[in-house]
């Protein structure tokens, strides 16, 4: 990210989506191999033949292979793609912009200058309220809204955005020199690192 910063711009926070979307993939990653191992042991001990006499010992290797194939399909076709999708989403707050990036192999992104943001809203489902996450919508005055989906600690993240907006100089001019006040984020110091599931960068607590 450092190479892509404008002159005088600093990274405040980098975060990913709240990892609740990984609950199913992680559960499958744990349970499916365990179930397959149990099934393979049952097959090797002749369990299928006792259940259905028509199944002979010649079927053993094929049944074991079928179990391994099912494990591979679940892990490679379900768990891994969802982990990669989650890993590829990043929300970056700088002293001048909000950037959302998507994808690891096929990349996409959008960004909104803080100076163009007129309002910052939060929407939460019941589950998101329990997990303290939520969707942040940015009102830029143009048709449609830019939305950061499933942001962890959504209330604090919004306060970081509002504080960064308040620190913007009257005339925003990244690229022409250091931005006055861009390295002074005193209000961020009230949150201990252990309470934040984010990566704090230049301009945040790490350089204080």
- In whole angstroms, give the CA distance from residue 53 to residue 114: 71
Pairing of strands 133-139, 199-200: unpaired
User: Which of 28-32, 120-124, 171-175 is predicted with the least confidence, judged by mean pLDDT?
Assistant: 171-175
Please measure the distance between the N-terminal and C-terminal CA atoms of the chain and give it in whole angstroms.
20
Task: Name residue, tokens 């960004």.
Answer: 111
pLDDT bucket at 195, cuts 50 / 70 / 90: very low
List the one residue out of 99, 79, 81, 82 whose CA is nearest residue 91.
Answer: 99
- In whole angstroms, give the CA distance from residue 24 to residue 109: 26
Contact assessment for residue 36 and residue 67, using Cβ atoms and an 8 Å cutoff: yes
List, for residues 75-116, the tens digit of each pLDDT value.
Answer: 999 999 999 999 999 999 998 899 999 987 788 888 899 998
Helix (H, G, I), strand (E, B) or coil at 92: strand
């Amino acid at each position: 990210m450092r190479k892509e910063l404008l002159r005088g711009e600093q990274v405040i926070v980098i975060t990913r989506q709240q990892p609740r979307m990984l609950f199913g993939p992680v559960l499958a990653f744990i349970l499916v191999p365990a179930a397959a191992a149990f099934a393979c042991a049952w097959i090797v001990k002749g369990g299928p033949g006792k259940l259905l006499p028509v199944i002979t010992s010649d079927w053993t290797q094929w049944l074991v292979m079928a179990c391994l194939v099912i494990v591979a399909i679940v892990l490679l076709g379900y768990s891994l793609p969802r982990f990669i999708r989650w890993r590829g989403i990043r929300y970056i707050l700088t002293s001048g912009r909000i950037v959302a990036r998507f994808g690891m192999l096929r990349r996409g992104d959008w960004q909104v200058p803080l100076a163009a943001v007129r309002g910052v809203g939060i929407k939460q489902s019941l589950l998101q309220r329990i997990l303290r996450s939520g969707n942040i919508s940015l009102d830029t005055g143009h048709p449609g809204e830019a939305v950061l989906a499933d942001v962890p600690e959504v209330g604090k993240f919004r306060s970081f955005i509002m504080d960064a907006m308040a620190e913007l100089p009257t005339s925003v001019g990244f690229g022409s020199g250091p931005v006055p006040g861009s390295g002074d984020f005193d209000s961020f110091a009230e949150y201990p690192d252990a309470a934040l599931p984010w990566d704090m960068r230049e301009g945040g607590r790490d350089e204080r």
